[in-house]
Chains A and B, each alone.
Chain A
Amino acid sequence: QQQVKQSPQSLIVQKGGISIINCAYENTAFDYFPWYQQFPGKGPALLIAIRPDVSEKKEGRFTISFNKSAKQFSLHIMDSQPGDSATYFCAATEGGSYQLTFGKGTKLSVIP
């Protein structure tokens, strides 16, 4: 049972454009939603995270939007750059657990 569904699987965006990745979850006990960025040959690295008591969090060019009633959250990358080309994973944890439940990932390619 896939508890966190992520889409799209791949995304191609022009330099300067907006990249949008969506995730939906089923487990209402989830209470922490991080996004990870992974480059080839590297482990995932935390990009930005949100708790369900806020609807939006922005850090630089990266914004998480959170819709608790719809059980959905999304990552927006503004002014996308070629250096943003990587695989992005949404994730969720519940009740202070360190067990991350990941989405399947989105491979982002930003073309010049």
Chain B
Amino acid sequence: DAKTTQPPSMDCAEGRAANLPCNHSTISGNEYVYWYRQIHSQGPQYIIHGLKNNETNEMASLIITEDRKSSTLILPHATLRDTAVYYCIVMGTGANNLFFGTGTRLTVIP
């Protein structure tokens, strides 16, 4: 299921933007990029998803490269509560099951 590659860990200063990269070089045309996060053993939480256009919501922005082989999740002003494991997941149109990799552990530092 390892369709994505993420760095195992990153740090970010509180108040700064956190930019979390994800490589998905084998993504196919009908597959979306989803981001979830898990805060300290809580249930995973949906953040955002996109196909090819950049997306923004109240939680984050998602930048997908033109060739769709990589993407970046941006938390514009990271807070301590954003410390979590962030998962980048590729999922096809009509797919119903979600499979997690190991994600990126983001630590927001005061």
Whether chains A and B associate is no
| B-binding residues in A (CB < 8 A) | none
